[in-house]
Each structure stands twice: as structure tokens, then as C-alpha cells.
Amino acid sequence: MDDSTSPPNMHAASAQPGPLSGLLVVALEQAVAVPYCTSRLADAGARVVKVERPEGDFARRYDHYVHGESSYFVWINRGKESITLDLRDGADAALLHAMVARADVFIQNLAPGAASRLGFDSELLRQRHPRLITCDLSGYGEEGPLREMKAYDLLVQAESGLVSVNGAPGEWGRIGISLCDINAGMNALIGIQQALLQRARTGHGSGVKVSLFSTAAELMSVPLLQTVCGGEPPQRVGLRHPTIAPYGAFSCADGRDIVISIQNEREWRFFCAVFMDAASMADDQRFCTLPDRLKNRAELDARVQERFSSLAHGQAIDLLIAANTAFASVNSVSDLARHSQLHTWPMPVHGATVRMPAPPYTTEWDRGAFAPVPAVNQHGAALRAEFGEVVV
């Protein structure tokens, strides 16, 4: 995903200022969830000041794959300003208070209770600055017996039951991305944007609180309802669907795998007639309805696999398209890097250019390129000069 070409001028490439231009976001942030949220605020034009501990955000050291930078850090810290502060030092704490006094949004994800102990309790900040929007992101929320526990993505995957519905039978498996962190950051983004709209109507700020566990629990709504109301938890079925068939992965003659999905009886009939070349199969009493197909899934999957085994990957795709069957090839990360549908933007990193996946939404204020990530304390001197004489 590297490209030696220089990125275009970002301001020249932008059609118009982002909708959050003019807003100041002060982020006492680390790791993934809050940096994910604030990177999206920065993408929309907000000025984001990233406050780091003196040694820097520990996510900077997760790896060094991107021209010496951490993959995680490059992904979710673009377009921010960095300052390092020791909040146990009175002068540094006063400087952060000065920033917050002029901020529109203050967001933090320190360890449970740490921000309050350092003098940055969100409720007290809003009392002092009525237009301020605060966002606190925690592992388990501020109530309940686990409220003091540290929480990282994999721990919450386990605690919430996410791993119990992930993967195939056998050894437990981690979901391969930081799913809880990402979705918690997205929930924080939604809450902050709603709070900004509310402030535009009322003139008053408000508090947003997000937890990783509540985020994961909401993602688990369907398995939870199936278990509580249906009396039986969904099983781990690998690349199959627990309640729809045929819906899963099948191997072609050349070893490539394809996932197919049949969602209704019309699709089933087309699939049987065109792909399976066996129109009568649609009326087979073992397979003619979804409940029948689920009950006889082993026989059904065996029949479908037999057909796939007679076809090369390209042949199978041609027939699936002709049958109007939904499908996807099972690709590797290397396949994604070469994928014809992958849209990327350039990002400068230490004099080189990295191609990053473009935002998943397109807007009139797209810049067509990502701003760089800041070095540790890159903007410290300028920020101290700007905010150092503000009286709180």
C-alpha cells in the first residue's frame, strides 16, 4: 500500500471547509477508542489537540510497520496537534484547563477515575463552562460492580460473549480487529455530534458517556434475544449462518473458497436452476423451505459442495452471477491490498507516502488525501504560547 508519489495539497483538494471547521476538540486520549472518534472529528474539519503523557500515547509503540510508525497510530491520529503534559504538574494542569476553557468538546479515556482525580471531572467542567460538551469513554461505565476494572478490546470481547458467537467450534478465537474499541469510538462520535446539534438549539453543552462493554452488549442484541427469548444460544458455525441455509463457504476445484447467501425462496429457485443445474432440487421436501434447509443442512451443504468441487473459481463466479446469487470470494489481507474495489487516499509518513483506505463515506468536503500524524509534542511549544496566558 506504499506509493512514492507525493500527496496533493490537501487544502487545494478540498471542495469546501468541513462541517466542523472552527470547533476546538481537546482530547486526553490514548490507545484506540477515543483516537478513532477524534480522528473522524478532525476529518470533518475540527481542530483536535491530542494531549499525551510525557512519554507519548502508548499506541505509538504497538508496532513500527509504517515507515517506523505504529499501524494503529497512523490509522487514527491523522490531522491532530500533539502536546505532552504531566497533569500532576500544576502548570501543565493549568494549561489544560486553559485549553478546555476555549474548547467546544473535551473527551477522555483515561483509566477509571483518573481524569477526576487529576481535576478534570466532566460534570464540574461543564458547570464551569456551560457550552462545553464532554465525553467520557470507559470500559464498563460509571456504575456497577466492574466500573473500576481496566478494559481492553479483547477483554471486552470475552466478557460480553462476543467470542462465544465468533469463529468455528473448538478453541476460542479473537475477532481479528479491535471491534469493541472501534464501535465505542463510533458511538462517542455519534453522541458528540448529537450534543453539538443540541447545543445549537439550546446554547448549552451536555455530557456524553460511552462504555466498551455497553457497546459490545448492543452489538450482541440478536444473539442475546435468540438466547433469552428463544431459549437456545447460537452456536459457533464458522463461515456459516446460524439461522439461514445455504449461507456459508464452499471450496472450488482450484482450492479457492466462495461464500454464498440465499435469503429467500425466489433466490433458492434461481440458484437450483442455474447454478446447481438441478431445478427439481428446489422442490425437494428436504430443502424446499428455509426451516427444511436448516433441518437438513448437512445433506444440503454436501450437495452444494459437490457442485462447487466440479468448478474452478472463475467458472463458479460466472454461474453465481448468472443465477443472481449473492456471493463473495474468501480473500486474504494481501488480496484486499490489490482489490479492484479498494479506494485509497495518500498519507505522508516520514517523507514517504502510504495509501490508506479512504473514508467509507463520500462528502462534498472530501480532501482526497489524509493529513499526517503528529510527532510526540510536535505542537507543544505553539500550544503553550497560544494558551499559556489564558486566565481560567
Task: Label residue 16 by pLDDT band (50, 70, 90).
Answer: confident
Q: What is the pLDDT of residue 4?
A: 37
Mean local confidence (pLDDT), 258-267: 96
Residue 59 phi, psi (nearest 5): -70, -15
Q: What is the pLDDT of residue 121?
A: 97
Annotated catalytic residue: which of 241, 339, 343, 379?
241
Q: Which of 243, 295, 237, 245 is nearest to 265 (CA)?
A: 245
Mean local confidence (pLDDT), 272-276: 97
Pairing between strand 257-261 and 247-251?
Answer: antiparallel
Which residues are 257's β-sheet partners? 251
Burial 233-248 (b: 16+ CB within 10 A, else e): ebebbeebbbeebbbb
At 32-71, the pLDDT tens digits run 999 999 999 999 999 999 999 999 999 999 999 999 999 9
Lowest mean pLDDT among 1-5, 114-118, 261-265: 1-5
Mean local confidence (pLDDT), 327-343: 96
Report the distance separating Cα 102 and Cα 22, nearest Å. 11
Residue 7, pLDDT above cutoff 80: no
Q: What is the pLDDT of residue 3?
A: 44
Average model confidence (pLDDT) across the chain = 93
At 105-156, the pLDDT tens digits run 999 999 999 999 999 999 999 999 999 999 999 999 999 999 999 999 999 9
Q: What is the pLDDT of residue 389?
A: 59
Residue 6, pLDDT above cutoff 60: no
CA-based Rg of the chain, rounded to a whole angstrom? 25
**Taking the alpha carbons of 160, 166, 169, 171 in that order, is the dihedral positive or negative?**
negative
Q: Are 198 and 206 in contact (CB under 8 A)?
A: yes
Residue 8, pLDDT above cutoff 60: no
Mean local confidence (pLDDT), 353-362: 96
Report the distance separating Cα 109 and Cα 137, nearest Å. 5
Residue 277, pLDDT above cutoff 90: yes
Q: What is the pLDDT of residue 243?
A: 86
Share of the chain above pLDDT 90, in %: 89
At 166-202, the pLDDT tens digits run 999 999 999 999 999 999 999 999 999 999 999 999 9
Lowest mean pLDDT among 95-104, 118-127, 137-146, 233-242: 233-242
Q: What is the pLDDT of residue 273?
A: 97
Task: Based on the residue annotation, tell me whether 339 is a catalytic residue of this protein.
Answer: no
Q: What is the pLDDT of residue 392?
A: 41
Residue 10, pLDDT above cutoff 70: no
**Taking the alpha carbons of 213, 215, 217, 223 in that order, is the dihedral positive or negative?**
negative
Task: Label residue 274 by pLDDT band (50, 70, 90).
Answer: very high
Reply yes or no: is the peptide bond before residue 372 cis, omega within 30 of 0. Answer: no
Report the distance separating Cα 166 and Cα 142, nearest Å. 28
Length of the chain measured in residues: 392
Q: Which of 122, 109, 125, 98 is nearest to 57 (CA)?
A: 109
186 burial level (CB within 10 Å; 0-12, 13-18, 19+) = middle
Q: Which domains does the chain have, with CATH numbers?
A: 24-226+346-389 (3.40.50.10540), 247-329 (3.30.1540.10)
Mean local confidence (pLDDT), 2-6: 39
Burial 146-164 (b: 16+ CB within 10 A, else e): eeebebebbebbebbbbbb
